[in-house]
Amino acid sequence: MSDLLTALLGSQELADALHDGDASGVAASLEQLCGARVYPRSITALGGTILFLARRDTEKFLGALVSPGGTGERLAGQTTSVAVDGRDLKLTLAQTGAESAAWLRALLPFLQPQVLGLKKSAGCGDRLGLATPGHIRAIRRSTMAPILAQQSIRENARTGRTPQEVMDDALWGVFQEGWRDGFGADADHLKSTADIDSCAAAGFTFYTIDPGEYVDNEANTAPVDELREKVSALDWNALESDWETTHSQLGSRPIDLGTFSFEIDPEALLRATAKYGRVVAHTVRMYRRLEQVMGEREFELEMSVDETETVTTLAEHIYIAHELKRLGVKWVSLAPRYVGDFEKGVDYIGDLAEFEKSFAQHLAVARAFGPYKLSLHSGSDKFSIYPIAGRLAGDLVHLKTAGTSYLEALRAIGMVDAALFREIVAFACERYPQDRATYHVSAEVEKMPAAIALADADLTLLLDDFHAREILHVTFGSVLHKPEFRERFFSSLRSNEETYYDCIERHFVRHFAGFERAKAERGIQGN
């Protein structure tokens, strides 16, 4: 037995992560014992046990090489006795299911999600449960704090996953890559207290409240008399206030936003209250439920009104922040509905100068009433605005992505299984008219390049086309629910996981690069 293996088996406390060279050597020794490929970065030692993740064909196992009396003896799985350099040890291989995940999570603190606070952060949604290693490889090349378990209730329904499965899939990715620097878990776009309950039970730490259905978009253009009626009809008991108090607090004096003051005129305050009053009341109900079910556990709240019809004005943002703060809500980030269009899977559509001016104003509100982060929802592939947000906000920014990881899965499939890719593209075009209904997209099937005209080697060029990206993006649920696609889809990715990880890493490094450049530019300006 090598000296390093002996030292690891002697570790009672959590041993430091191995350097790549040492990890590869230990992995080779473990592979001889278990007859499976071992992921070197997964190797973890504590309590007289070496834990690792192993793979045979496309199936993965949690492995434990255990000294007599070691912690790993409590792992349920297939156990054999092995003799190594005259020592009698036990080798256990366990299925990577919910039971093993719970056991491992309880044992290793770095596998438990945590709150991230006011660190610049990125939510890396993974609709398939396979992308986390690629996300981590990109995060390692950035200064972003990651949220690695992230999925909305809507996406859970469309992918057939539960909140606990989302958490467990992220855990195995974190373990495989040996990521010990912390991560968050986002229960995304929650609409009801039942959503909160299921996600809290699974251990999520970050809760995105989506009160979009409570936004009164008619208030954006309604005449003043109608606005007064809407405001009068609000549930003022839930808001613990009344219109006169609201006006006295927000409409009778300039609001100090640090670098400038802003005065909300009476009509603008009426519109803000009519438009977002029910939003505030619902968010407060959700927050108080969170406090109840989380108990002593730490959690973070994000409030999102990005998926709504009308832009959030500066006055409306001030109203939301003031009222939430007055009602005792604590939140770490907020996603307004920005100017321009944040369509799924494509770059920002709009005037960049206008976005920069508006973003700077929203940021002033976030600093004055927080500080809290501004969240960029539908944030994937918005490469033109990352440098703006990074330069202005510094760490007070959160990037949220989801579908872009699915698109990179399609890219990987296009590289290894052209026939399957062509079938998915044809099916997606059929499903797009129905599946687009709940997404903000403008792609047209008629304007998408014809896959039949492309050689197999050129198929992935479709993923660089505006129309094809959106069509493929929003049809993910239909594709994954189709049995003849699902098995082949996952088999292709699991059989070619490094291809998928490479696609994910390259794509997310490009995402984070805009924020990194912005940080460098601020440093130069500061000097």
Q: Write out the catalytic residue numbers.
A: 188, 302
Which residues is 186 bridged to in the sheet? 150, 206
For residue 135, the cross-strand partners are: none
Asked if residues 113 and 123 have their Cβ atoms less than 8 Å apart, the reply is no
- 136 neighbors 457 (Cβ within 8 angstroms): no
- H/E run at residue 59: strand 59-66
Residue type, 148: L
- Supply the Cα-derived Rg of the chain in whole angstroms: 25
**CA of 200: how far to CAs of 13, 89, 129, 196, 204, in Å?**
29, 39, 19, 6, 6
Q: Is the Cβ–Cβ distance between 492 and 420 less than 8 Å?
A: yes
* Both tokens assigned to 449: 């390049």
Residue 240 region, left (φ>0) first, then alpha (ψ -120 to 50), else beta?
left
Task: Give the H/E segment covering residue 83.
Answer: strand 78-84
Q: Which of 389, 325, 327 is nearest to 362 (CA)?
A: 389
Q: Distance between CA 302 and CA 297 in Å, rounded?
A: 17
What does the buried/exposed string (b/e) look like for 475-501 if buried means 16 or more CB atoms within 10 Å of the residue's CB? bbbbbbeeeebeebbbebbeebbebbb
Contact 61, 86 (CB under 8 A): no
Answer yes or no: are the C-beta atoms of 153 and 85 closer than 8 Å. no
Distance CA 44, CA 171 (A): 14
Name every residue whose Cβ is closer than 8 Å to that of residue 338 and which is 6 or more positions away in sequence: 306, 311, 312, 355, 358, 359, 362
Buried/exposed code over 186-213 (b: 16+ C-beta within 10 A; e: otherwise): bbbbbbeeebbbbbbebbbbbbbbbbbe
- Give pairs for 247-253: CB < 8 Å, separation 24+: 249/322, 249/326, 250/318, 250/319, 250/322
